[in-house]
Amino acid sequence: MTIMFTKKRIIVGITALLCAAVLYAVVDTAEAQRKFARKECIDCHTKFAEKYLGMKTVHAVVKDKKCEDCHLRHGIVPKLLLKKDGNDLCYTCHTEEKVGINKKHVHTALKKGKCTTCHNPHASQGAKLLQAEGNEVCFLCHKKDAYSRKVVHGVLQSGGCSACHLAHSSNEENLLTKAEAPLCKSCHDSGGASFKKAHGNYPVETKSCSKCHNPHSSSQPKLLKVSAHNPVVSASCEMCHNPPSSPKPFETVQSGAALCTTCHDAAGLKAGGTVEHSPFQGGMCTSCHDPHSSEYPRLLPQEGNKLCATCHPAKGAKTSFPHSKFGEGSGCLSCHKPHAAKHAKLLVEDGGKLCATCHQQMMDKKAAQVHMPFGQQMCASCHNPHGSNIPGMLKDRMERVCYSCHTDAETRFQKTHTHKPVGSGQCNSCHNPHSSAEAKLLKAGVPALCANCHAEVMKEVAGGVNHQPFAGGMCLTCHDAHGSNIAGMIVDKQTTVCISCHGDMGKQMMAGAVKHAPVTAGDCTKCHSPHKSKIAKLLLVESPDMCFACHKDIKEKVEKEKAHQPARRDCLRCHKPHISALPSLIAQPLITMCGECHDLKADSFSRAHIGIDPAAMNCMNCHSPHASKDPKLFKDNIHPPFAARSCDECHVVQKQ
């Protein structure tokens, strides 16, 4: 009985625990859901909601808060992430077939741009999510001026662009809703008396209305294009065409130029010109003129230069440095006649004379020295008259233009050391391409010309020494203006250049038995500055530092050991700088030179040298001339008996 009661209590306890666990789990899950409830995009993008959700037309996916139909979710940092790029995203709902992307003519904004050029992807105050109302959305790309001239097509005013054009695509040109003639006839009664009278009873309804009329707006009555042929304006079609009752009313009564010259005097168009434009000569008037009407002056079918470029594409190519006349005013006709001219290439004036009509100021600058092409007005020998990708409208890179005449110069200038302007092809850094008061067309005389680049080098040293050719501005005495195979662009080997002025030194060099290494190598600038110095004799630095630059072993000994005073102060106390008749370039015989500082007759000298006659001595047999570890400047390796002054161990010496 007790056991059964105990079991019952255990079962009840377990059941209570399970119930509590389930209840806790339910409450915990609800709490978790409450804490981590997923937010909508507009919970954060409140400004977006304020801007778009109240607009007249809201994109369905925006209205339904289905942002993720187009966007990918982002993290803490906001970032625009679309599921697909550009129009491909729109095509997931608005299929290409429905938009009509496969039709013959597709709206440029759709084909090459984005749907968002015209449509707002979220919402708009206009219908169909358009960025602007009615025609204004079209004027975002199409200049409004062309559609709002004095006479505006009625249908454009009343029905807008969409009355005649489809928005996305069409099988007709210009995105028309139907072929041009049927479209026009949907408003204009081609059978009406007024229509027939206006068109001289010709069956124009079978042709293109836009041949004569601007379909949008015009400054001319009846929407005629800006430039209209007189027979068109007066509806005198029979002046050129067969009668309207003819089986072939639109055929012309004569062909080619024969028809045009019934009104237009060919001789008058030539104006005495003997060089004729090919289309004019061949009677191909309609190559350049529309026989009915045009939006461009003189019935040209295209804007002036563009028309010319259809036959002369190279001349119409865009360049970095275009001829100003080519891009303004009359364009090509600034320099060329359209029909015939007295000069080659249909120029309105002969060569340089034509250029002078604008560049007279340049022509008036002729100086004492004139560049031959400039003097003979051969402007086109260097310049491209239409434009160029080279500054100054040059026909080619500057050096190539110059070398085309100065053929020998290209070879002469190809040196190991080339003047920077020559190497970079900037001949006009030094030369004036047209004329100059200086010889060789230099922009200025030397040294002023050189100072344009080398101003810092050209400054003379105050209180120092200036090399005479340098001080006298005789740069070209030593340097080649274009280039040289010798460092420094000098005109010859250093020795030859220097000796050409320093002749006495040249003679000494020839006679000298011992020569300084730089002298032998002909490297004068190893020690001397060719231009200027603060030190006498144009030395680069004072002695002994000058000498130590090469004689590093001696410098080390002088710095670390007991130094001979002349070696520490001035090498030239003992040595000659260029040549000598004696070894090691010493200035005098050794004992004589040493005797200038050391009293060879003194008792102390005699005792130190055990009474040996100085005339029989060679000081360098025992002493180092520059430095030594020994206070008496003895050499590093000393014979022990000599060190002990025990000469008699080896020599028979009679001491005094």
Q: In which residue ranges of the chain is pLDDT below 50?
A: 1-3, 5, 29-30, 655-656
Looking at the DSSP assignment, which residues form a beta bridge with residue 227? 294
Joined tokens for residue 401: 């233009």
Q: 340: helix, coil or strand?
A: strand
In whole angstroms, give the CA distance from residue 331 to residue 391: 21
In whole angstroms, give the CA distance from residue 177 to residue 188: 16
Looking at the DSSP assignment, which residues form a beta bridge with residue 82? 71
- CA distances to 320, 323, 466, 519 from 331, rounded to whole Å, are 17, 10, 59, 68
In whole angstroms, give the CA distance from residue 357 to residue 335: 10
In whole angstroms, give the CA distance from residue 149 to residue 592: 111
For tokens 């030594």, name the residue.
628
Q: What is the pLDDT of residue 16?
A: 67
In whole angstroms, give the CA distance from residue 287 to residue 217: 26
pTM for the whole structure: 0.72
Give, as one character, the DSSP assignment of residue 524: G
Q: DSSP characters for 117-144?
A: GTB-SSEESSGGGBSSSGGGGGGGTS-G
Q: DSSP characters for 474-521?
A: -HHHHB-SSEESSGGGBSS-HHHHHHTT-HHHHHHHHH-SEE-HHHHT
In whole angstroms, give the CA distance from residue 285 to residue 643: 118
Q: What is the pLDDT of residue 652?
A: 75
Q: What is the pLDDT of residue 81?
A: 87
Q: 626: helix, coil or strand?
A: coil
Q: What is the pLDDT of residue 426?
A: 96
Q: DSSP characters for 396-428?
A: S-HHHHHHTT-HHHHHHH--SEE-HHHHTT-GG
Nearest CA-CA partner of 205 in 225, 228, 180? 180
In whole angstroms, give the CA distance from residue 534 to residue 137: 78
Sort 120 into a burial class: Cβ within 10 Å, 0-12 / 13-18 / 19+: buried
